[in-house]
Homo-oligomer: A and B are copies of this chain.
């Protein structure tokens, strides 16, 4: 068979929305970027209402962003968090963001991670996860989170990963609502 390959890139608008050189000092600033990405993904109709960003925790330096790209790239694995992990790995030339000598990294995501993304969080090497909207907000749109249980979070916390919930939740939820009004596609519904 002819060789098949997969190419993952950003939609063309990414550099209009993302200031790569800014220092993102606070949790709110970092979450605001993740939400801006989720919102732009809806307005430009490039994917589901989910955005993510990875920062160096102490410096606030932006490493990578991600946006849901399942439909745009015909790929069931490309949730916002997964795109952010892949792009951060690519940029740093490392399969872990938690290597010895690296600064601690953090994932900000506009909505609570699904089972796949929570698993990937463990493999990514990030030390802190901050999310905006919760799984109940997503399920109101019939987006499913999959097999995530309180024990799943405990598993991550036991391995030193901090979980922070509900940061700018109303703003994050508003993007989900906007997607619903635009009658966006519910893949994997």
Contacts and interface: CB of A to CB of B under 8 A. Distances in A.
A125 B123 CA distance: 23
Contacts of A95: 70-71, 73-76, 187
Contacts of A162: none
A4 B85 contact: no
Interface in A115-149: 115-120, 122-125, 144, 146-147, 149
B96 A118 contact: no
Contacts of A125: 76, 188
A77 B7 CA distance: 14
Interface string A145-166: 0110101100110000000000
A162 to B, nearest CB: 16
Contacts of A87: 4, 6
Contacts of A7: 5-8
A174 interface: no
A48 to B, nearest CB: 11
Given A152-B147, A155-B146, A188-B96, A74 B91 contact: no
25 contacts: A1-B20, A4-B91, A5-B7, A5-B8, A5-B10, A6-B7, A6-B87, A7-B7, A74-B90, A74-B94, A75-B90, A76-B85, A76-B89, A76-B124, A77-B77, A77-B82, A96-B188, A116-B119, A116-B123, A118-B119, A122-B188, A123-B146, A123-B188, A147-B151, A149-B151
Interface of A: 1, 3-10, 15, 20, 64, 70-71, 73-77, 82, 85-87, 89-91, 93-96, 114-120, 122-125, 144, 146-147, 149, 151-152, 155-156, 187-188
